[in-house]
Structure 1
Amino acid sequence: MGGASDTEEQQLNAEIETTPQPTRRRKRKSMVWEHFTVEAVAGGCTRACCKLCKQTFAYSTGSKIAGTSHLKRHIALGSCPKIKSQDRKQLALTSGLKTDGESPDPPKRRYRTSSYLNAQFDQDICNENLAKMIILHELPLHMVEHLSFVAFAQSLQPRFKMLTCEAIEAEIMAVYQKERHYLLQVFGTMLGRISLTIGLWTTSQTLGYVCLNGQFIDSDWKLHKRMLNFMMVSSPHSENALSEVIGISLSEWNLKDKLFTITLDNNCSSHDIYSANLRDHLSNKNTLMLKGQLFVVRCYANILNVVAQDVIASIHGIVYNIRESVKFVKASPMREEKFAEISLQLEIPSTKSLSLDITTQWNTTYHMLLAALEYKQAFIVLETCDDNYNEAPSPDDWKKVEVVCSYLKLLFDSASVILAAPDPTSNIFFHEAWKIQLELAHAVACDDTVVSSVAKDMHEKFDKYWRDCSLVLAVAVVMDPRFKLKLVEFSFSKIYGEDAARYVKVVNDSIHDLYVEYVAQPLPLTPAYVELGEANASMNGNEGNPLTTPLSVVDGLHDFDIYISEISTTQSTKSELDQYLEESLVPRIQEFDILNWWKLNNMKYPTLSKMARDVLAIPMSMVSGAGGALFGAGTGSRVLDEYRSSLRPDIVEALFCAKDWLQYLPTMMEPPSNALVKMEV
C-alpha cells in the first residue's frame, strides 16, 4: 500500500511540473504606463516611478497589487510638477480612462474633460474673443503683429490665422455694434427716465473727448450705470460743445424725452456757466421735470476733493516739513530704531505707523498727518538729540495740523460712506452733506482764530455746493421711507435756525410739484399688482400690503381695473405722496434695501414709485467704489494716453464703450470653469 501511494504522488508531481503555469500578470495595457516605470525595492516589493518628476508610488507587495488609480490621478490632476494642469494630451488621457482590471476595487471617482475641449475650431469665435481680450485689458491693437504673440497663438492652435491691424479694428467695431444694439433694446423697455454724468478727457493735442454715462433703475428695481458715448470734440470745455454732445447722444439712444438730470464734474468757477447754458439749451428740446430745478447736479466726490485739497494747500509748508520728517526717520533702520526708542521712553500709546503720502490722493496725506500728530513729542525730542534733523514743526504748526485733521476727518468719513456703497442711490448723500455744512458753519463762528481761519475757506466752497444742490439732495432723502421729510426738518432746524421753516417749505412744495407732474403722466394700462410674498409683512417695519395676484389676465376684468384706476384718482381725498409722508417712518436697520422696499410697495404707490425710481437713480457722485479715484484730486480732466490719442475717434469710442458694456456680461464676470470636472459615482 505504501509503495503504491508513493508512486501516485510522484506521478502527480511530474504532471504539475510539465503543465505550463499561467502568467502571474497580464501585459500592462493601461495608458498610464506611458508615464511610469516599475522598479523593484527591498522586501520583494515594487514601486511605480514617474518618468518626469521621479516621484515613486506603491504598486505591489508580494502578490498584492495596488492598482493604477492613484497613478492616473497623479497625471490627470496635475499633481506632477512637470505636467501643466491644462495639458490637452493629459486631459484627453483622463477622459477615456477606465478600470483596467489590475485593481481589485473600482475607483470611487472618475474625471471627464469640459466640453469645450472637444469643440470644433471656429475662426470667427477666436476672432471675436481676441477682440474682446484687447478691449477688456486695454491692449494695443498692433499686438496682433507681434511675432511672439503670433507664435504663441500658433502653438495653441496651428489652424488659427492671425488678424491684421485692420481686421482687428473691424472685429472691435463688430463687438461694439453688437453690444450697442443690445443696450438699445434695454433702453427701449426702460420704464423711467435716465440721468447723465459728464466727464472730460484731454489729449496731448488740442482735441478732447466728452464721456457720457447714463444711470437708471430698471423694471426689477436694479440700479444700472452704462457708458453711452465717448465723443471727440474740438473744445470739450465749451458749454455749447457739451450741449451738442448731449443732444446727439440722446437722439442716438432714443432718449430725447427721458432725460432727468445731468451731473457735472467741473471746477467751481465754471459751474454757473455750464449750468445756465445746458439748462437753457436742453430745455428747448426736452421736457425737463420741475422746470429744470433738479436738472444740473454737482458731483459730491468732486466737492470733497476740492475742499480737502484746498485745506491741505493752506498749510502746505507744514505738510512739507512733516513729509520730510517722515522721510528722515524712515531713511535707515538705525533712525527708525532710534525713533522707536524715543517713542517708548515718552510712552506714546499710538498704534499707527509713520507713512508717506501720495500727493494726488488727499486721504493718504490725511493719514500721514494723523500718524505724525500722535508722534509730535517724539519729533520734538528727536530734533534735540540729532543734529542732522531740523524739520520738526513748531507748536503752532502742530496746532494747525490738529485742526486740519479734525476737518479732514469729516470729509474722509463722508467719502468712506460713499465708498462702502457699491451702487449708491441718491438718498444717502443728504445725510452726509448736511453734517459737513453744519460743522463748517459752526467752525467759522468759533472764537479760536486758528479753527475759524481753517474752516473759512472750506465753508466758502462747500456752502456753494450746498446752495446749489441742497434741494435735489433733500428731494432724494424724502424718497427714503426711513427719513422722509422729517430728516429735512430736523437738519434744516440745525442749519438755518428760525428760518428753517422757509427752507423746508421750498422742499415740500418742490416735492408736491414734482409729484403733480408724474400724476399727469399716464400709468401703464396693466394693473400694478405684484406678488409680494410672505416677507412683505415684516419687510423693514412695513405691514399691511395685500397679497394679491394679477387676476385680470384670466378673469376678463381688465377694463374694470382701468375704470377703478380712473375713479380712484378723482375720488381719493389724499394723494399717494401725502399718504406716504404721513405714515410712520420705517425702522432704520443696517441691511435696509431701499430699492427692494419700493419694489414691494410699487402697487401701493404706483405713481409715487415712478417718481422714486427716477429720483433715486440720480448720480449724486460720479465716483464710487474706487478708492483711488474717490480720494483723487478730481478737479481736472483726465488725460488720454499717447497711444489712444493716435487712434481714430470711432475706434477710441468703441474701445471705451465696449469695455464698459462687456464687464456686465455674465461670461465676463464669472471665471472659466476648470478643465477637469469631478463626478461622484
Structure 2
Amino acid sequence: MYVVEQDFTNLSDGGSVEVTMGLQPDHGSENTEDTNTSPAKKKARVIKLGKRTLRSPVWKTFNKLTTIFEDGKSRAQCKDCKKLVIDDSHHGTSNMNRHLKTCPGQTGGLLSVSEFCSQNFDLVVFHSLLVKVIIKHNLPFSFSEYEGIRALFAYIYPDIKSPCRNTIKVCVLRMFKNEKQRLHNLLGSVEGRICLTLDLWTSQRTDGYLALAAHFVDKDWKLHKRILSFCYMPHPHTGIALSEKINALVTEWGIEKKLFSITLDNASSNISFVCILKNQLNFRSLLVMNGDLFHMRCCAHVLNLIVQDGLKEIDHLVIEIRECIKYIKGSKARKLKFYECVRQWDKIMKISKFFGYFYEVTCLFSGTKYLTSNLFFPKVFVIQLQIKAAMNDTESFMNKMGTYMYMKFEKYWLEYSLILAIAIILDPRYKLHFADWAYTKLHGVNSVEFTKVNDKLNDLFSVYLEKLPHLDNSNTPLNSVPNHQTESVDVLFEVT
C-alpha cells in the first residue's frame, strides 16, 4: 500500500485538486500490500474534491490520506497517535470524533482500559487476589481452570497465564502458613490472659470435628477472636483424648502460660476433660488462683436445657396448638373464629410472655460481634426471678413448669459464675452495689452468696498485685460497699 499525505485544512476556497499516488511506502499502516508487487503496476487513484470545503474541527487533529485500500474507503491519520480512521462519505467525521475521546494525545495521556491493564498488571498480585477469592467464597481449586473464567482473564489481559489447580493449592497452603505465623506473633505479643472456647460435633457421616477459638484483648484494648484449630477429631471423644489434643494445641501456639478460662457445653466428657487439663496446668502453676475460674459453662447451652425441661411439661399443649393451626388455616371462616378465641387464651399469652424472657437472653448470649460476659449476671438474675415467679403462680401448669425448670437451673447455676459476677462489678454502669442489691433481692440481706463473690474479688485483686509489684500495695479492703441509694436500681432495672 502506497500513500500520499496532504494537509487539506487550508482548502477553504473550494476548487479542484488532483493528487496522484507517489512511490513512498506507508510502513505504519495496518493493511500493507505485498512488497513483492511492483509499484509500477499499481494503478493510480485520483481523488477529486471539487468545491468541498473541510470545515470540521477534527481536521485540526487529522491529516487526510489518499490511499489505495482494498475496501475502497479513504482514511485519515491522527497527528498525535498516528492511528488511521475511516473518513468516507458514509461515516463522515463520526469515527474521528470518537477517536478523539480516547486518543492519549487528546486525553492528557490517559490510557484505555485494555492499555491500562496491560501496563499495570502484576501477576503476583493477580494470583494473590485469585487465591483470596477462592478461599472467601469457598470455591474449588479448579475454579481458575474454568473455560469461562480463563476467557474473562484473557479479555482483561491477553498474555495472562491462568494458574492450574495445583498452583492454587500451593498458594493456599503458603498463605495459610503465613497467616498462622502472623497469628502466632500476635498471640505472643498479648500481655494479658487468653480465654478459650471449644466445640465438638459429629457430622452426618459420623465424623468428629473440633473447633478451638481464642478470645483476648491486645495492647490497644481491641477485642480479638481467632480460630486456633478446626480439625478432624476421631472418636471416642473421651476426657483423656480431648485433654491430650487441647494440651498439644495450646503448647503449639505457645499460650499455655497465658490461659485464663475455657468455655464448654455440658457434655460429660467435657467435664472430665477440663478436670484433667486443669490438673496438668496447675502442676506447672500456670493458672490464676489454681484454676478456680478456669471452667466456664456455655450460657446459651444451659438456657436451652432449662427451656427444654420447661417445654416437656407443656409438650402436649404445643402439639395440640400445632394441630389447631393446621385446622384453622383450612378456611377463612375458621381464621375469623380463631381471632375471636385468641382474646380468651390467657394461658397462651402467659406462656408466650414467660418464654419471651428466655428467647431474648438466648439471643443476647449468642452474639459474636460484641461482649457477652457483662450480660450474664443481670440477665440470669432476671431468669431466676421469672422461674421463681412461675413456681408461685396460681395456675397449676405454670407452677409445674417453673418447678421443673428450677431443678435444671439449680443443677447448673445454683451458684452464679464467680468470674462473670466479678465482670458485672467491674462494669462502671453496675459496680459492686448492683451485685449486693441483686443478691439481696434473691437471698436476703448479707447473703452468703454475695460474701463469696466479694471474697473472691479480693483474692483475684491480690493475685494481680503480686503480678504488678509497681502498684501501690495498699491494704484497703474491697468489701466496703459504696454508700449509694440502691433503691434507684429498682427504677433502672425493672423486675416483675
Q: RCO higher in 1 or 2 (8 Å CA, sep ≥ 6)?
A: 1
1:578 to 1:450, Cα distance in 2 relative to 1, 3 A: closer
Query: Structure 1, residues 265-303: CA drift from partner, whole Å, max 9, x if none?
Result: 344x55543443332233324521122121111111222
Structure holding more helix per residue? 1
Q: Aligned equivalents of 1:477 and 1:307: distance in 2?
A: 23
- Against the structure 1 CA distance between its residues 441 and 277, is the aligned structure 2 distance closer, same or farther, given a 3 Å change threshold? farther
CA apart distance, 1:243: 1.5
Post-superposition Cα deviations, 1:574-612, rounded to whole Å, max 9, x if no partner, equal 37x679x65979xx99xxxxxxxxxxxxxxxxxxxxxxx
Equivalent residue, structure 1, for 2:56: 25
The partner residue of 1:460 within 404, 407, 424 is 407
Inter-partner Cα distance in structure 2 for 1:149 and 1:199: 38
For residues 458 and 301 of structure 1, the distance between their equivalents in structure 2, rounded to whole angstroms, comes to 15
- In the alignment, the residues of structure 2 paired with residue 512 and residue 186 of structure 1 have an alpha-carbon distance, to the nearest angstrom, of 31
Which is greater in Rg? Answer: 2
Which AA in structure 2 matches 1:516? S
Rounded Cα–Cα distance in structure 2 between residues aligned with 1:508 and 1:113: 69
| 1:210-359 matches, cutoff 5 A | 210-235=210-235, 237-267=237-267, 272-285=271-284, 287-330=286-329, 335=331, 337-339=332-334, 341-342=336-337, 346=340
Report deviation, 1:179: 1.2
Mapped to 2, the partners of 1:231 and 1:304 lie a distance apart of 28
1:178 and 1:289 mapped to 2: Cα distance? 32
Cα distance between partner residues in 2 of 1:416 and 1:322: 25
Q: Secondary structure at the match of 1:234?
A: coil
Q: How does 1:78-97 map to 2 (within 5 A)?
A: 93=102
Give the aligned residue type for 1:297.
M
**Given residue 252 of structure 1, which amino acid in structure 2 is its aligned partner?**
E
Query: What is residue 428 of structure 2 aligned with on the other side?
Result: 481
Q: Deviations over 1:385-435 (max 9, x none)?
A: xxxxxxxxxx9xx56544432321111222344467831141222100111
In structure 2, the partner of 1:172 is 172
1:161 partner SS: coil
2:353 is aligned to 406
Q: Answer yes or no: is the 8 Å Cα contact 2:14–2:53 preserved in 1.
A: no
* Residue of structure 2 in register with 1:8 after alignment: none
CA gap of 1:492–1:112, structure 2 versus 1, over 3 A, is: farther
Change (3 A) 1:141 1:258: same
| Counterparts of 2:466 and 2:408, CA distance in 1 | 38
Counterpart Cα distance in 2 of 1:114 and 1:199: 50
**How do 1:314-463 and structure 2 match up within 5 A?**
314-330=313-329, 335=331, 337-339=332-334, 341-342=336-337, 346=340, 376=342, 401-418=348-365, 422-463=369-410
Aligned AA for 1:201? W
**Which residues in structure 2 correspond to 1:567-578 (within 5 Å)?**
568-569=472-473, 572-574=474-476
SS at match of 1:520: helix
**2:467 aligned with 1:501:** no
* Cα gap change, 1:341 to 1:408, in 2 (>3 Å): closer
Partner SS for 1:27 = helix
Paired position in structure 1 for 2:188: 188
Match in the other structure for 1:638: none
Structure 1 residue 156 displacement after superposition? 4.1
Q: In the TM superposition, what whole-angstrom CA distance separates every residue of 1:93-115 from its partner, at most 9, and x where no partner exists?
A: 4988649xxxxxxxxxx999899
Specify the SS of the correspondent of 2:293.
coil
Report the CA distance shift for 1:262/1:18 in structure 2 as closer, same or farther (over 3 A). Answer: closer
The 5-angstrom pairing of residues 513-532 of structure 1 reads: 513-522=459-468
Offset at 1:460? 2.0
Question: 1:442/1:291 Cα in 2 relative to 1: closer, same or farther (>3 Å)?
Answer: farther
Moved more, 514-523 or 229-238: 229-238
Deviation at 1:330, TM superposition (A): 4.6
Q: Distance in 1 between matches of 2:225 and 2:329?
A: 44
Confirm whether residue 511 of structure 1 aligns to residue 457 of structure 2: yes
Tell whether 2:235 aligns with 1:208.
no
Q: Aligned with 2:199: secondary structure? A: strand
3-state SS of the aligned residue for 1:199? strand
User: Deviation of residue 573 (structure 1)?
Assistant: 5.0
Question: 1:141, CA displacement in angstroms?
Answer: 3.1
Separation in structure 2 between the aligned mates of residue 133 and residue 173 of structure 1, nearest angstrom: 15
Partners of 2:105 and 2:422 lie apart in 1 by 66
**CA distance in structure 2 between the aligned counterparts of 1:118 and 1:17, rounded to whole angstroms:** 46
Give the residue type in structure 2 aligned to 1:284.
Answer: F
Closer, same or farther: CA 95–402 of 1 in aligned 2, 3 Å: farther
- Contact residue 200 and residue 208 of structure 1 kept, 8 A: yes
Alpha carbons of 1:449 and 1:17: their partners in 2 closer, same or farther (altered >3 Å)?
Answer: closer
Matches of 1:484 and 1:174 in 2, distance apart? Answer: 48
CA–CA separation in structure 2 for the residues paired with 1:132 and 1:186? 21
Q: So what's the TM-score if we normalise by structure 2?
A: 0.70
Give the letter for the 1:430 counterpart.
Answer: F
| Separation of aligned partners in 2, 1:407 and 1:95 | 73
- Note the residue ranges of structure 1 that are not aligned, 5 or more in a row: 1-15, 32-66, 73-88, 100-109, 347-374, 378-394, 524-564, 590-681
CA contact (8 A) 1:243 1:281 kept: no
Cα distance in 2 for partners of 1:119, 1:302 equals 57
TM-fit CA distance, 1:482: 2.1
Give, as a single letter, the amino acid of the residue that structure 1 aligns with 2:224: H
CA displacement at 1:439 relative to structure 2:
1.7
Shift of 1:153: 4.1
Aligned to 2:137: 137
Return closer, same or farther for 1:251/1:17 CA change in 2, 3 Å cut-off: closer
CA distance in 1, matches of 2:221, 2:452: 29
1:669 corresponds to which residue? none
CA displacement at 1:521 relative to structure 2: 0.8
Give how far 1:143 is off.
3.5
Q: Write out per-residue CA displacement over residues 171-216 of structure 1, whole angstroms, 9 at most, x where no aligned residue.
A: 1111111111111221222120100000113235554221110001
- Does the CA contact (< 8 Å) of 1:475 and 1:511 recur in 2? yes
Shift in Å at residue 447 of structure 1? 4.3
What letter corresponds to residue 209 of structure 1 in structure 2?
Answer: Y
For residue 477 of structure 1, report the CA deviation from its aligned partner.
Answer: 0.8
TM-score, length-normalised on structure 1? 0.52
Once the two structures are superposed, what CA deviation does each residue of 1:544-593 show, in whole Å capped at 9, x if it has no partner?
Answer: xxxxxxxxxxxxxxxxxxxxx47x43xx4537x679x65979xx99xxxx
In structure 2, do the counterparts of structure 1 residues 279 and 340 end up closer, same or farther at CA, with 3 Å as the change threshold? same
CA distance in 2, matches of 1:460, 1:262: 25
State the Cα distance separating 1:497 from its structure 2 match.
2.7
Tell me the alpha carbon deviations over residues 202-235 of structure 1, each in whole angstroms, 9 at most, x when there is no partner.
Answer: 2355542211100011122121111111132223
Measure the CA separation in 2 of the matches of 1:309 and 1:116.
Answer: 63
Between the aligned partners of 2:129 and 2:220, the Cα distance in structure 1 is: 31
- C-alpha change, 1:293 and 1:167, in structure 2 (3 Å) is same
Q: Are residues 160 and 21 of structure 1, via their aligned partners in 2, closer, same or farther at CA, if it must alter by over 3 Å?
A: closer
Instruction: Give the alignment of 1:474-623 within 5 angstroms.
Output: 474-497=421-444, 501-522=447-468, 565=470, 568-569=472-473, 572-574=474-476, 582=482
- Matched letter for residue 574 of structure 1: T
Q: CA deviation at 1:440?
A: 0.9
